[in-house]
Structure 1
Amino acid sequence: MTAPKPATVLFDWDGTLFDSGAASLRAFRKSLTDFGFAFTDAEYKASYTPRWYRMYETFGVPRELWEQADQRWLHHYGEEEPGLVPGAPEVLAELESQRILTGIVTNGTRPRIERELARLGLQAAFRAVICHEDVTRSKPHPEGVLSALARAGCSPASCWYVGDTPVDIEQGHSAGVFTVGVLTEYVDATRMEQSRPHLMLRSITELPEALYRFTSTTSSKILGGN
């Protein structure tokens, strides 16, 4: 099959554009330590999902503590100041130069996302920003992606959705868009491959090349691989 050049590229925020992986891990570890729970980096990587309640369940945190754990995570994460992932500014600039619209679909809360965008000077960089409060059903339900497309005035057939977790890819598939997975050190690569993105990248920096190469010849493989 062939993949059309997208009119819109939607991104997950945390871990995909925003270099929050290490900060998120530190905050998650501190928040669980506050309640007497511990885990290894390998356990975190094997089970990571942006759906925190599933993470709490995996690590044995009682349901009655989940809301408090959320608040502790927000407190600890607020002490961090990550930036964009390396190469992300150049990727966004390249998409803009090609007149490709961009947007964000995230499970993050709007106050946090707006604060981070403002700190990075990106308040006006995206045509649509869909946060936790903007949907009734969170990832992997397609509502977030479809809402972003409605705001951008774009159809699923002309959209790519880029994310770093299996939940992102599942959401993209459900929305009927072209899915792009990005490998990171915080999510197990096998889990990403099993989510079957249309295209897998080793880094967000490979996205511009994918726009040139993958719009004419496609297969579900890592860009540049065999």
Structure 2
Amino acid sequence: MLTSVLFDLDGTLLDTAGDFMEIIQAMRADRGLAAVDPDRVRPTVSNGSVGMICAAFDMRPDQPGFDELREDFLARYDQHLAVFTRPFPGISPLLDWLDEQQLPWGVVTNKLSRFSIPLMEAMELAGRCRSLVCPDQVTHSKPHPEPLLKACSDMGVEPRHSVFVGDHLRDIQAGRSAGMATVAALYGYLPVGDDPATWEATHSINTATDLRPWLEQRIQEK
């Protein structure tokens, strides 16, 4: 039985890597550094600013200068968070279909509210999203189940009748801990060397378009 669908944000619902790469390349250029290979940074997007700075500047978080780089990165992102970002292919028709089916959907992310809310607004998704849960709204972030349970509470649905879709192991862990079915989005920002087959997700999809047939099956199980 299916009553709601929850999505991770970066790497699942929205392809945000373009904006991050634009910022990183500008930061490197300002420091007299050559452009970095996007393929080096893209797999780290799901690990947030820390992961991207580590990859882009070959640094550890405990090294001198790291905090300054991260602050610069976040300040630039404040002004540059919806220039190249787009829904992943297949997401827009999928959300249209969910709305037509009157199936509420929401977003659970480890991205702070200061970025997530204006990003969702810029993508014209904020008014359609029934719940947006960010780490600064809860005590524990993913992989803890608390954010997912809050989203279900916001939407008035039971976790056991919900599905969580994400592109990182922490998403699948959070969904499983919350008692939800889980879907691994293999088109997202998969960390190098990570094997999604070991995540123990309920289902996996290669494109967002692949999700609808699987959801239709679950609806028919009512």
Which TM class, normalised by the smaller chain length? 0.7 to 0.9
Q: TM-score, normalised by structure 1?
A: 0.78
The correspondence for 1:83, drawn from 77, 82, 86, is 86
Q: 1:212 to 1:151 in 2, by over 3 A?
A: same
Instruction: Specify every segment of 5 or more residues in structure 2 that has no aligned partner in the other structure, as ranges.
Output: none
Q: 1:206 to 1:113 in 2, by over 3 A?
A: same
Report which stretch shifted further, 142-151 or 48-57: 48-57
Distance 1:133 1:52 in 2: 16
The correspondence for 1:203, drawn from 207, 211, 214, is 207
Checking the alignment, whether the CA contact within 8 Å between 2:167 and 2:189 is kept in structure 1 is: no
**Is 1:171 aligned to 2:193, yes or no?**
no
- Please report the RMSD computed on the Cα atoms of aligned residues, expressed in angstroms: 3.0
Give the SS at the match of 1:200.
Answer: strand
Which amino acid in the other structure matches residue 19 of structure 1? D
Which amino acid in the other structure matches residue 195 of structure 1? W
Checking the alignment, whether the CA contact within 8 Å between 1:32 and 1:69 is kept in structure 2 is: no
Q: Shift in Å at residue 51 of structure 1?
A: 5.0
* 1:150 equivalent in structure 2: 153
Q: TM-score, normalised by structure 2?
A: 0.80
**Is 1:8 aligned to 2:4, yes or no?**
yes
Q: Shift in Å at residue 125 of structure 1?
A: 0.6
Q: 1:147 to 1:46 in 2, by over 3 A?
A: same
Distance 1:178 1:161 in 2: 6
Checking the alignment, whether the CA contact within 8 Å between 1:106 and 1:130 is kept in structure 2 is: yes
* 2:129 equivalent in structure 1: 126
- Give the paired residue count: 213
**Is 1:74 aligned to 2:71, yes or no?**
no
Which amino acid in the other structure matches residue 12 of structure 2? T
Q: Shift in Å at residue 154 of structure 1?
A: 1.2
Distance 1:178 1:159 in 2: 7
Q: 1:210 to 1:141 in 2, by over 3 A?
A: same
**Is 1:187 aligned to 2:195, yes or no?**
no
Distance 1:185 1:155 in 2: 27
* 1:115 equivalent in structure 2: 118
What are the superposed Cα offsets for residues 179-224 of structure 1, whole Å, 9 maximum, x if unpaired? Answer: 011112631585322212110001111111111246679xxxxxxx
Which amino acid in the other structure matches residue 86 of structure 1? P
Distance 1:193 1:24 in 2: 28
Could you tell me the percent identity over the aligned residues? 26
Give the SS at the match of 1:125.
Answer: coil
What are the superposed Cα offsets for residues 8-34 of structure 1, whole Å, 9 maximum, x if unpaired? Answer: 100011111111133334545666887
* 2:60 equivalent in structure 1: 61
Q: Shift in Å at residue 157 of structure 1?
A: 0.7
Checking the alignment, whether the CA contact within 8 Å between 1:30 and 1:73 is kept in structure 2 is: no
**Is 1:101 aligned to 2:104, yes or no?**
yes
Which amino acid in the other structure matches residue 154 of structure 1? V
Matches within 5 A, 1:136-147: 136-147=139-150
Give the SS at the match of 1:50.
Answer: helix
